[in-house]
A and B are shown apart, each in its own frame.
Chain A
Amino acid sequence: SAVISQKPSRDICQRGTSLTIQCQVDSQVTMMFWYRQQPGQSLTLIATANQGSEATYESGFVIDKFPISRPNLTFSTLTVSNMSPEDSSIYLCSVEGNRGHYEQYFGPGTRLTVT
């Protein structure tokens, strides 16, 4: 199983600012995923990040708002740009397990509050 850490664990930010969330995995992985978990809502995939290529964004999410970097096989960052209170959420990164796409390991999440 993969061990994933995220920084920061939580933050309170003012509207209009940006926050970069870091995700570190203890083993090399091809794909990393970024999710958003809003209160009372299901986990929603923001984008898939492969090392060496542009991230693939899901419908409703755009690169200008959520730029992603994937500089190597163990690390990724997600930036939440020009934040508004609607961006208040938990942001999670995940990776696939050895058994395939139906097995995902998640980080502990970053709890973001925008005031």
Chain B
Amino acid sequence: QKEVEQDPGPLSVPEGAIVSLNCTYSNSAFQYFMWYRQYSRKGPELLMYTYSSGNKEDGRFTAQVDKSSKYISLFIRDSQPSDSATYLCAMSGGGSYIPTFGRGTSLIVHP
């Protein structure tokens, strides 16, 4: 079992839809949870990060962490074609500062 599991998709939604992206993990020592967005032929860029459990909101983006279920989510409201990208979850903790990344989910928002 991989430490971080993420469905690669692709996930195709119409413009304006609410998107839910998810990751599960097995290492209970993870404390920092991040979401990166990667456009085609670009490097990943940090979207949001959360420490421990709870929710965090930033504009149209909401990150949720449920440590009891070892499950994290990223919600995108009012999705736009410009949101089309690969979204990678990442997490770290337990004495290691090096993040462990998921495989990434490819999101396509069509007009």
Contacts and interface: CB of A to CB of B under 8 A. Distances in A.
Contacts of B94: none
Interface string A86-115: 000000101001011111111111010000
B92 A106 contact: no
B17 to A, nearest CB: 25
Contact of A107 (B2, B43, B101): B43
Contact of A103 (B41, B49, B103, B104): B49
Contact of A42 (B4, B45, B92): B4
A102 B8 contact: no
B81 interface: no
Contact of A101 (B43, B98, B102): B98
Contacts of B104: 42
Given A101-B97, A102-B32, A102-B92, A42 B42 contact: no
Interface residues of B, number: 24
Contacts of A94: 43
B34 interface: yes
Interface string B78-104: 000000000010101000011111111
Closest 3 CB pairs of A and B: A106-B43, A101-B97, A43-B101
